[in-house]
Amino acid sequence: MRAFLAINLDRKMKELVAGVQDELKKRTRGFRWVNPELLHLTLKFLGEIRSEDLQLFEQPLKELAEKMPPFRLTFDRLGAFPNFRRPRVIWIGAQVGSEQLELLAEKIESVFRSLSFQPDQRKRGKEENIFVPHLTIGRKRKDQDIYFPSEILHEDWNCEYAVSVDRFSLMQSILYASGPVYRPVKEFLLDA
Ligand code: ATP
Ligand code: MG
């Protein structure tokens, strides 16, 4: 199955981010906006995994989660991949220096490094292979010119709300022509 590890958001945060999307819809052209129900923060993209793979990393992930305390997460700025002159992906970024989030991502990375299990990342530019904690909120539509005025970036996009993170999830992603469907497969509770 196609899989990734992610932090899912509560209803309130999804609504707040949907509000940001609504504002951007009015002021930009050429983007497809992610269904707010599907918003998530990817900790690690795994790609195709087999059930044997899952057995390898399930226990180490469970143990690392148990040693981490729950934390709060805020989102406060817009960003784009690969950059704002040619935005292909528009995102809203987690607060810079969110230490617990960065620590969690690093520990997850080290689990997969120690198992020598790394997904195929050839299709991505290197910008996306360094961990930039973000929610993808929009993507450029193919074959369309975009309009994204740069002043949008300098505005304050703080959601003024902190989501409580007490777990992360192994998500299955099923890609349909109409868009992806994600299904939680396993949850890892933060429990220090
Ligand atoms: P679609 O590919 O149809 O646009 P999607 O990107 O939401 O949908 P997936 O491609 O399965 O669905 O990706 C699941 C999550 O993993 C998303 O958050 C995506 O941004 C992230 N992701 C996908 N591929 C990579 C990759 N090679 N490196 C890092 N993150 C990735
Ligand atoms: Mg994708």
Report which ligand 1 atom has the smallest distance to the Cα of 179. 3
Report which ligand 1 atom has the smallest distance to the Cα of 139. 4
* Residue 92 to residue 100: CA distance in whole angstroms: 18
Sign of CA dihedral 82, 18, 11, 141: negative
Contact 165, 21 (CB under 8 A): no
Average pLDDT over residues 123-147: 82
Of 6-10, 12-16, 118-122, 131-135, the one with minimum mean pLDDT is 118-122
Ligand 1: which residue has its CA nearest to atom 17? 42
Short-list 108, 79, 74, CA closest to 94: 74
Supply the DSSP string of 69-110, one letter for each residue: --EEE-EEEEEEES-SSS-SEEEEEEPTT-HHHHHHHHHHHH
Superfamily of domain 2-187: Cyclic phosphodiesterase (3.90.1140.10)
C-beta 32 within 6 A of ligand 1: no
Contact 189, 66 (CB under 8 A): yes
C-beta 128 within 6 A of ligand 1: yes
* Residue 86 to residue 89: CA distance in whole angstroms: 9
Higher per-residue confidence, 116 vs 110: 110
Q: Where are the domains of the chain?
A: 2-187
- pLDDT one-digit tens code per residue, 38-68: 999 999 999 999 989 999 999 999 999 999 9
Of 3-12, 128-137, 147-156, the one with minimum mean pLDDT is 128-137
Query: Is residue 43 classed as helix, strand or coil in its secondary structure?
Result: strand
The enclosing H or E element of 50 equals: none
Ligand 2 centre from 173 Cα, in Å?
9
C-beta 180 within 6 A of ligand 1: yes
Question: Is 154 one of the catalytic residues?
Answer: no
% residues pLDDT > 90 (the chain): 80
Q: In the prediction, which pLDDT does 139 show?
A: 96
Ligand 2 centre from 180 Cα, in Å?
8
Ligand 1: which residue has its CA nearest to atom 11? 173
Is the pLDDT score of 85 beyond 50? Answer: yes
Q: In the prediction, which pLDDT does 159 show?
A: 87
Q: Over the range 46-57, which residues count as b (16 or more CB within 10 Å of their CB) and which as e? A: beebeeeebebb
Is the pLDDT score of 124 beyond 80? Answer: no
Is the pLDDT score of 127 beyond 50? Answer: no
Instruction: Please name which ligand lies nearest the alpha carbon of 176.
Output: 1
As a whole number of Å, the CA-based R_g of the chain is 17
Q: In the prediction, which pLDDT does 153 show?
A: 86
Confidence of residue 123 (pLDDT cuts 50, 70, 90): low
Tell me the best of 4, 33, 129 to mutate to test the pocket of ligand 1, counting ligand atoms within 8 Å of each CB and taking the most: 4
Is the pLDDT score of 97 beyond 90? Answer: no
Is the pLDDT score of 140 beyond 80? Answer: yes
Average pLDDT over residues 100-127: 79
Instruction: Please name which ligand lies nearest the alpha carbon of 131.
Output: 1
